[in-house]
Amino acid sequence: MNELMLKYGCNPNQKPARVFMHEGDLPFEVLNGRPGYINFLDALNGYQLVRELKIATALPSATSFKHVSPAGAAVGLPLDDALKKAYFVPDIELSPLACAYARARGADRMSSFGDFISLSDVCDECTARLILPEVSDGIIAPGYTGKALELLKTKRRGNYNIIKIDPDYLPEATETRQVYGVTFEQGRNDITIDRKCLSNIVSANKNLSDSAARDLIISLITLKYTQSNSVCYVKNGQVIGVGAGQQSRIHCTRLAGDKADIWHYRMHPRVLDLPFLPDIGRAERDNAIDRFISDRSFEILAGGVWEKYFISLPTALTAEEKEAWILENRGVSLGSDAFFPFGDNLERAYRSGVSYVAQAGGSVRDDEVISVCDRLSMLMAFTGIRLFHH
């Protein structure tokens, strides 16, 4: 089949809509549901991301996409008890792919609400069971075990979007798109991101561990499929903060840093032990946790609004508690899809635990940026690669 008609395009008034191939068959098969225009954009961008993560790290990979940018991405490293609790994962033995999915979804649970999931490997039963209780629009993977497919088909009253993609598919070297009736054409961004991209270390600190290099590579591959301008914070094999689609790079760095901070606060013992009523759903818990962490007026405004969520109203984290906790969050890796024009980006990143940086380099203020990096004892590599994605 080389054509699939869609209900509509980005919006209901944009009809007709379809996905099709000029030559050959479509490289995917819809096994369930009726994916839409934006679903396919998320699915195909997300699958490219996890495919490249798997190639780069040799680990099963997953991403959670929302509006053509990743909310989270991760490789299949084990979860500790705090992560399991923060991600609402039961204390069971998880497959490596299930670990990758739990980490990708847990990076920014607020943004992942209603996401499209991409997996690098055949979806197994363990991963499917983690997906079942989450609010999600669909999934793309190179295959599904029988039990996984059976479980996923029960989501959304049997209408969950399930796409199987051909893992051997290779797109044409040239890609085209239309804007306002004008056709654009360019070579596909098939640049390989690996350890070689990190060879030009320009900081005084040149101690790049294998785990930090892996995390920098994860950040750069994630940025390759994130709407620009963008930066990405990664720790222990998973994205913890993405700043996407900002016109100013410092705004990207702040946005992603704020998300990385919230991710870290979610591991605080008082947040992990919030006294929720037993019948409160995951989405409501995520909203309440975000408000508890982020809103200084939590206690003032709580009153009758929050009593329906908690057995007893918790006391908000103080500024001193937050500062002490965030200081423990070190060893974070930061990637940028283009150069940092000013050192303020590194100063903001440092406050969120960044110790390692990968950026394109090439700013007229590179010397200033390097000096800030050295003052903060960070390691920084110039990749010489711009990763704009639009």
Active site residues: 66-67, 229, 390
For residues 3 and 17, give the distance between their C-alpha atoms in angstroms, rounded to a whole number. 11
Enumerate residues 6+ apart whose C-beta is below 8 A from 233: 219, 239, 240, 241, 242, 256, 257, 259, 260, 332, 333, 334, 349, 352, 354
Least Cα distance to 337 among 380, 390, 387 occurs for 387
Burial class (CB in 10 A: 0-12, 13-18, 19+), 62: buried
Least Cα distance to 274 among 286, 263, 262, 283 occurs for 286
| Matching residue, tokens 């990143």 | 349
Amino acid identity for residue 4 in this structure: L
Residue 350's region, left for phi above 0, alpha for psi from -120 to 50, else beta, is alpha
User: Does the CA dihedral 204-209-214-218 come out positive or negative?
Assistant: negative
Q: Cα 204 to chain center, whole Å? A: 30
User: Does the CA dihedral 99-101-106-107 come out positive or negative?
Assistant: positive
Least Cα distance to 72 among 61, 83, 80 occurs for 61
